[in-house]
Copies of this chain bind each other. A is one copy, B any other.
Amino acid sequence: MVNAVEKQSPHRVVIVGGGFGGLYAAKSLGSVPVEVTLIDKRNFHLFQPLLYQVATGTLSPADISSPLRAVLSRNKNTKVLMGEVVDIDPEQRKVTLQNQDLHYDSLIVATGVKHSYFGKDEWSEFAPGLKTVEDALEMRRRIFVAFEAAEKETDPEKRRAWLTFVIVGGGPTGVELAGAIAELAYSTLKKDFRNIDTAEAKILLLEGMDRLLPPYATELSTKATTSLQQLGVTVQTKTLVTNIADDIVTMKQGDEVTQIAAKTILWAAGVKASAMGEILAKRTGAQIDRAGRVIVEPDLSIPDHPNIFVVGDLANFSHQNSKPLPGVAPVAMQEGQYVAALIKQRLQAKTLPPFNYFDRGSLAVIGRNAAVVDFGFVKFSGFLAWLTWVFVHIYFLIEFDNKLVVLLQWGWNYWTRKRGARLITGEESLLTVGVDNQGDFYTPTNSNSAVKV
């Protein structure tokens, strides 16, 4: 007992969130003489860049998930805790979970963002977003139910609405979703139906800015548009969605307002910070931006709280460029690694120069053979870009969990054009599709709607 008291207790690092930022911080702290606790609501890390492949039936959730405990099992200084942080107390240096408190010496907050409907939360019912495994399975359910319902529908107008897919938002997720659904409709499912021609499906990608993939170079936006059009996607830029209701999307291009009846509307447009942003602001006086992200110092800490760090999508880091760093996995990884290194230096009473993001480039996949790559010094697209995309993603997946199975699954899907993960599952899947008052995703209030089935 006396020894226990005399022995200096190790520096306690609490990490909230097991996404790219939190997990890379934890991994980097594995060899540092600190005591790490990683808290996440889920028991797995999700490789979010491939979530659209779950939503479109190529991969299973487990293919892109790694159990946090397994990833960190060799880090003997690290505990994983499944739980949710509901408050923090910077004076007492503790975080509050639902049934316990946890003290920290350094705190890393990496709870990311969720999708945002820009104040129109009522749209979420009609246009699900893509952030969690459950989101992806719900998208998958809706996409495949749409084809099943179209097959049963005899009214041509209603059938057209079942075969219309609107994707709102032309960033990487929107582009990848549109490309994957186009392949599904125009290739994979072609021979599987008897009453409908899946090639009649209409896939509409809407983007508010004047081009797809706004953060990329202009020439790649053009390439992406061309590739999608070749796949059969209708790309509409400078188009703002003004309403989503009752399976009707209302949009505005310039002064022209149009409506389209669509049973499947997918949201890939906006994000806002997770609740931890507001909690941090309230408890530490940290500034948050319009999207709720926490504005951080050059070393990713919060002003006046040098031992509280924010990394990943939740952080607004604006010290490198005029605008904040983008909310992508490489930024989160490097931020997590930086904070881990900084904590290590501080233990030796040293410090580090400010964080500096090294941009290795951007990637987006468009279809079976097409992608766009922007490495800064070189930009390319097409099959070579697709191969690059495959290997970069496999490389990072393998780092976690040796997910060679994904590579094999892709190889198999590539050659056969099959999709194994086309299951319609979940509570609602048990309802028969295309029956009055049976589906949960058309509004039962307006039965005069042309697309009500």
Which residues of chain A have a CB within 8 Å of any CB of chain B? Answer: 41-44, 60-63, 65-67, 69-70, 73-74, 79-84, 97-100, 133-134, 144, 148, 151-152, 189, 191-195, 401-405, 408-409, 412, 416, 418-427, 429-430, 432-436, 438
Contacts and interface: CB of A to CB of B under 8 A. Distances in A.
Contact of A192 (B69, B134, B144, B433): B69
B402 A432 contact: no
Nearest to A97: B432
A65 B192 CA distance: 16
Given A433-B82, A436-B99, A44 B423 contact: yes
A435 B98 contact: yes
Contacts of A133: 423, 425
Enumerate the 9 nearest inter-chain pairs by beta-carbon distance, A residue then B residue, closest first: A60-B60, A62-B421, A69-B192, A67-B422, A82-B148, A60-B62, A99-B435, A73-B191, A83-B432
27 contacts: A41-B432, A42-B429, A43-B423, A43-B424, A60-B61, A60-B63, A60-B421, A61-B423, A66-B420, A67-B420, A67-B422, A69-B189, A70-B192, A73-B191, A82-B148, A82-B424, A82-B433, A83-B432, A97-B432, A98-B435, A99-B436, A133-B423, A134-B426, A401-B420, A403-B420, A404-B408, A404-B412
A146 B337 CA distance: 32
A409 B404 CA distance: 9
A192 to B, nearest CB: 4
A283 to B, nearest CB: 20
A69 to B, nearest CB: 4
A416 to B, nearest CB: 7
A37 to B, nearest CB: 10
A66 B42 CA distance: 28
Contacts of A66: 420
Contacts of A148: 43, 82
A314 B85 CA distance: 50
Nearest to A421: B62
Contacts of A402: 412, 416, 418
Contacts of A422: 43-44, 62, 67, 70
Given A60-B421, A62-B422, 9 more contacts: A42-B424, A70-B418, A73-B192, A82-B148, A82-B432, A83-B433, A98-B438, A134-B427, A401-B420
A222 to B, nearest CB: 36
A67 B425 CA distance: 12
